[in-house]
Each structure stands twice: as structure tokens, then as C-alpha cells.
Amino acid sequence: MSSTIRWGACSRCSAADQGRDRMDELKPISREAIPLALQKAERYRIIADPSSAESICLDVLGVEPGNQQALMTLLLAITDQFEGGPTEGVRRARELLPRLNDRYRQAYYAGIICERCAKALLRRDTPGSEELAYPWFRDAMTWYEKAESLRPAGNDESILRWNTCARILASNDQLRPREEEAPVEPSLE
């Protein structure tokens, strides 16, 4: 005796299909859960799981779109995922900068984006990666100088980052501006 299962006729199957439709909708977290969620996001960054940290930050921002800690952690989680240089992640991280509520943070985190992009290029370890990384380090240092001029009293993190970039540039003589190629004159012969 053979039997044919008809998915449409199965009451449990239709419930499963309905559940699948609900799985596409994200569940909001409560406001009360935000502090603990942000702690978890930091922990995920520490254990090198930035995509989980990013997801948590997006959940927090779904409840509190202006939450500064969530925006900064999200930006860092995105830059933790930089691999091999400028990517879609750079654009996504830069889009968060205007949402930061003060000019110091905007400048400081613009520097972080550039510095992490430069380091990602260096990790590629391919011919020319140092020349590609150099302008990103210089841009990072420019942003850190701007942040330094805007920093609150007692906050020297922009100086620490600037010094890190300067030491990286000084320790690797391959990190230099790309040499401009001389124009080639066409031969008339």
C-alpha cells in the first residue's frame, strides 16, 4: 500500500510554511535589554565574531536609532570585517559617521576607518599593497589630527592612534607614496 503525502493538505506543513514567513521578520528587542545587548556586542567583537556584534547593534538601533554606543560599536564591528582593503564595508562604515553626535567622534572614527583599511591592505601582502595602504594611513593621521583639535580634555586616544600610524609608517620602508609613472613619449620611428 503506497501513500502520497500532499504538503498542502497537511495541517502541520501549512503551519510550518506560516512559521517560515514569520522567520523573515526580525523580532525587536526591548529597551530594557539594550545595555546587556551592547555588552554582548562588545564580547562578540572581543572573540572575533564581528558579524554577531553587527547584528546586535542593528537590533539596538532598531529600537534606539540614535544610540551612540551602538553606532560606534557597529562601526567598529564593520571595520573588524575589512579584508584586503577598501570594500563595501568602508562605505557602510562611513555612512554611520554623520549619525555620531559630535565632531570629535566623527573625525576620530573617520580615522579608524582609514587606519583599518590600510591595515587590511597590508594583510593582503601582495605586490604594491604597501603603496596602496600608504594614503589610507596618511588620511587616518589627518583625521586623527582633526580629532585631536576637537578632543575633550584628558582624551588622548586620537594622539595614540596617530602615533600608531606614524610608527607603522616609520617601521616599513615599503610604505611610501606610489611613484608617479613618467609619461611615455610615443616613438615616431
Mean pLDDT for each consecutive 10-residue tract of the chain (189 residues)? Answer: 47 54 84 98 97 98 98 97 84 98 98 96 89 96 98 97 97 83 51
- Going by C-alpha positions, the residue among 72, 80, 83 that lies closest to residue 110 is 72
Question: How many Cα atoms are found within 13 Å in the side-chain-facing hemisphere of 176?
Answer: 5
Task: Tell me what pLDDT residue 182 has.
Answer: 42
pTM above 0.75, yes or no: yes
Report yes or no: 132 and 175 within 8 Å, Cβ to Cβ. Answer: no
Distance of CA 91 to the CA centre of its chain: 9
**pLDDT given for residue 173 in this prediction:** 87
